Structure 1
Amino acid sequence: MTKFKKTSMSLFVIGVTWLPSAFATNYFAGIDALYLQPRNDDLDYVGVFNANGSFRISNLDPDFQWGFRLYTGKGFNNNNDVTLSWQHLHSSNSGDTLGGLDSPIFPKWLFVSIWQNIHGHATFDYDEVYAVLAHTQNFQSPWQVRYGFGPEYARIHSEVNVSAFNLNSSIAVGHSDASHFNGIGPRFEGNLFYNLNKSLNVFINANTALLIGDRDVSLNATDKIDNTSKIYSGHNTVVPKVGFQLGINYSQPIGIIGGAGGVATTIDLQAGWQTETYFSAIEHAEAGIIGGEGASLLTTKTSNYNNQGVFLGGKLRTNCL
């Protein structure tokens, strides 16, 4: 995993430093507050046989969580710019299902029994880092187009815990299912701007990346006396990614020294909606009983990782450096 981090940081340094500083016309830095909901299709943790003979499956439902995006870069007088960005999101959600004498319960990876309580817990840790060299094309109209490319690194760690308590013991048994992906690859992005007036514009951003990395999968027993763990061999994998943003930007100059050719500083305020999807990024053990021969027969399946929600942030641009 470390090799991908070292490679990505080397590429970022190259991308930032190879451009001649004599062409720089401004520097910028910004921060966005993110309010995102992580999504995954493999968050079922228990099945319940109801007294009327029906069967239902309970899933963990992640809530919206706060994250952030930090970015910086510099622009050049030929309408090129280089940008370095880091986005981070951590989420943690739990769920409980109560049983009874008339409701046999099937916890994920455990056997059907008269369990008293089933507790499920899911966490996601997501980081995205990229460096992009881009060019902005100005038209004789309100429209502007920006397009660029560069390296991207992503880390997606997912963990699902299922614990079960029976009627005669206060000791929980269960498993912790972990999927750790780290990858790096080429990123391409495009931005479309429509200027409503001198200070206000709306924008649509789209990006895609093809990440090559490794993924480790494990199913660990929380009570190793009564349960069996299974470590799946790590393997290389390819994860495609797409992302979109729709937002509005307001620009306000806050300082000009020395007339038109002097030092200028501008604050940009941005707000909007975004979504990102990493295809087949998460791999978990399928539902089934683990233990004895079942430990070697239990297979895995992949699922997508997505987060979507709103962003609100600000950017400072200046040519005083």
Structure 2
Amino acid sequence: MFKLKGIIIATGLLSSSIGFSGTMGPVCTPGNVTVPCPTMGWGVGIQALYLQSLYSNINLSAVNIGSASGTRIYKDLDNDFDWGFRLEGSFHFNTGNDLNVNWVRWHEDFENRLTPIPGTVLVPGAPEINTISLATRYYSNTDFDSVNAEFGQHVDFGEFKDIRFHAGAQYAQIKSRFRANQVISGAPPEFADLNGSDSLTDTLKFNGGGPRLGLDMMYNWGNGFAIYGKGAVAALVGETKYYNNSPFSDEDGNRSRPVRSSYTGLVPELDAKLGAAYTFPLAQGNLTLDVGYMVVNYFNPLHISDLDLNTAQETRLQSDFGLHGAYAGIKWIGAV
């Protein structure tokens, strides 16, 4: 009898727990993964870019302005933000497919004047002389171009989310020039040979191409508003070059000559964007306005080379090249 009651109680508790577990909340139903209905159309767009260049090598981002107590002092060159643009054209077809070609063009001009504290000269039998002055003006200009050709597939993940997957190729070209003009004056007669001016220009270049993959993720708030995140990665193979106009010199301990260096290398690239968009539906298509922030980085596309003629040893220093900043643009997609 007691055994039968125990079985009944255990069965009742099990039934109760099963019934309770089924009342924890509604079952989550995943949204459907779909593609758009077949359509055909053309798209054009333009964006204004306001970007600043970034370099990982201190020789390209800072300059030695002197020393104090044996410690070198560097000043950040703090490159300016400059304007560029992005143009794109696209053809939309089938169930969410597109072919897209876009071109990014950016140019920078930068000038910085540095005037260190007048130097101190020790003359035998005389007190310290603080008359030497050094005025340095640094110039740099950079040209950046990239062209992407993409094949994309639009996929809807439920009612609010969609992703565009794309694959294609990129061609990129980077050219940076740095010039330092120095004027030394005020040296006493014993050091008169220090007075004068000189100019040294360094040119760094890269051009190459390769495959590129990426995705554009968007969340639609409704009423035409959306936020998005975009990312892509590329692997470029190309030639990196460096040359300068260093003067010939055969002075003992200070032998130098112009340097030219080039090699072929692999350059990975990453880019990312975060932004918001608003789309106006029109009778013949859609007009989209968007704003956002972007970051792009090329890993070691640039290098500096130096040759010590006393030891016949080459020193090669590499540098990343990057851009970051804001953008705003407009795009129209019309149905055929």
Match of 2:259 in 1: 231
Match of 2:210 in 1: 185
Q: CA deviation at 1:99?
A: 3.5
The residue type equivalent to 2:140 in the other structure is: A
Relative distance call for 1:274 and 1:100 in structure 2 (3 A) is closer
2:323 to 307, 314, 320: 307
1:29 paired to 2:57: no
2:79 to 44, 62, 73: 62
**Conserved? CA contact 2:64–2:72, under 8 Å:** no
**Conserved? CA contact 1:124–1:158, under 8 Å:** yes
Q: CA deviation at 1:132?
A: 0.2
Q: CA deviation at 1:207?
A: 0.4
Distance 2:105 2:95 in 1: 32
Identity %: 24
1:282 to 287, 291, 302: 302
TM-score when normalising by structure 2: 0.75
1:196 to 210, 221, 229: 221
Secondary structure class of the residue paired with 1:299? strand
Q: CA deviation at 1:120?
A: 1.7
**Conserved? CA contact 1:285–1:300, under 8 Å:** yes
Relative distance call for 1:182 and 1:24 in structure 2 (3 A) is farther
Q: 269-278 or 311-320, which moves further after superposition? A: 311-320
Secondary structure class of the residue paired with 2:222? coil
The C-alpha deviation readout for 1:74-120, integer Å capped at 9, x for no partner, is 1113111110000011112122222454358xxxxxxxxx5521222
Q: CA deviation at 1:277?
A: 0.5
1:136 paired to 2:136: no
Distance 2:299 2:177 in 1: 17
Distance 1:86 1:237 in 2: 23
Q: CA deviation at 1:140?
A: 2.4
Match of 2:273 in 1: 245
1:270 to 260, 274, 290: 290
Distance 2:97 2:314 in 1: 52
TM-score when normalising by structure 1: 0.79
**Conserved? CA contact 1:24–1:74, under 8 Å:** no
Q: CA deviation at 1:273?
A: 0.6
Distance 1:153 1:315 in 2: 23
Distance 1:282 1:58 in 2: 21
What are structure 1's unaligned runs of at least 5 residues? 1-22, 105-113, 256-263
2:172 to 154, 175, 193: 154
Q: CA deviation at 1:44?
A: 2.7
Q: How many residues align?
A: 276
Q: Which protein has the larger Cα radius of gyration, Structure 1 or Structure 2?
A: 2
Q: CA deviation at 1:163?
A: 2.0
**Conserved? CA contact 1:49–1:103, under 8 Å:** no
The residue type equivalent to 1:267 in the other structure is: L
1:79 paired to 2:93: no
